[in-house]
């Protein structure tokens, strides 16, 4: 099935995540000298683990989307409904991956402000981006998408 309609995403979600991460880091640089409170070794280990798992989610999802010839970019219309593989675990594996990667970088930067802003960032994605994508998928795939939405959680 091919569909040319767009979900109407106006601002690239990767830039939303990057913007919040940089804002958190920047705020902390000019206002406070807080730390997450972990040893360097522990902080590095947690950061690497989060980044690796986050990039793994992103890579698996993007690879699956490319194999099925559907757009990875959320501002382009979907041509295939993916409901197995990584998409059988979460309806938004790329946003989950971005969130884990973001948290990994916040931990690596030892920035509790950036880590706290991850919550705000996820709320923005969850309330302003994902509903547009879901409305698009529902209009393109109808009952098949409704069934998928009932079976698989939005995040995890």
**Is 91 within 8 Å of 149 (Cβ atoms)?**
yes
The pLDDT score that the predictor gives to residue 1 is: 42
**Is 93 within 8 Å of 84 (Cβ atoms)?**
no
H helix intervals, 32-111:
40-67, 93-108
Tell me: the pLDDT tens digits for 91-147?
A: 999 999 999 999 999 999 999 999 999 999 999 999 999 999 999 999 999 999 999
**4 pLDDT higher than 70:** no
The pLDDT score that the predictor gives to residue 2 is: 44
The pLDDT score that the predictor gives to residue 9 is: 86
The pLDDT score that the predictor gives to residue 92 is: 97
Q: Which residue has the higher pLDDT, 90 or 8?
A: 90
**46 pLDDT higher than 50:** yes
Q: Which residue has the higher pLDDT, 147 or 11?
A: 147
Cα(124)–Cα(82) distance, integer angstroms: 24
Which candidate, 13, 36, 14, places its Cα nearest to that of 114? 36
- Give the mean pLDDT of 40-62: 98
Tell me: the pLDDT tens digits for 68-97?
A: 999 999 888 889 999 999 999 999 999 999
């Amino acid at each position: 099935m091919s569909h040319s309609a767009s979900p109407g995403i106006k601002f690239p979600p990767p830039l939303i995540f990057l913007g919040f991460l940089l804002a958190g880091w920047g705020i902390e640089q000019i206002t406070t000298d807080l730390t997450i409170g972990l040893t360097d070794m522990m902080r590095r280990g947690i950061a690497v683990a989060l980044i690796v798992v986050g990039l793994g989610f992103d890579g698996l999802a993007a690879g699956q989307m490319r194999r099925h010839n559907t757009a990875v970019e959320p501002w382009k219309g979907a041509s295939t409904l993916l409901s197995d593989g990584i998409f059988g675990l979460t309806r938004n594996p790329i946003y989950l991956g971005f969130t884990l990667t973001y948290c990994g970088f916040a931990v690596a930067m030892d920035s509790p402000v950036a880590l706290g802003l991850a919550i705000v960032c996820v709320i923005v994605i969850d309330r302003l981006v994902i509903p547009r994508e879901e409305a698009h998928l529902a209009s393109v795939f109808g009952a098949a998408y409704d069934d998928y939405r009932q079976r698989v959680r939005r995040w995890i």
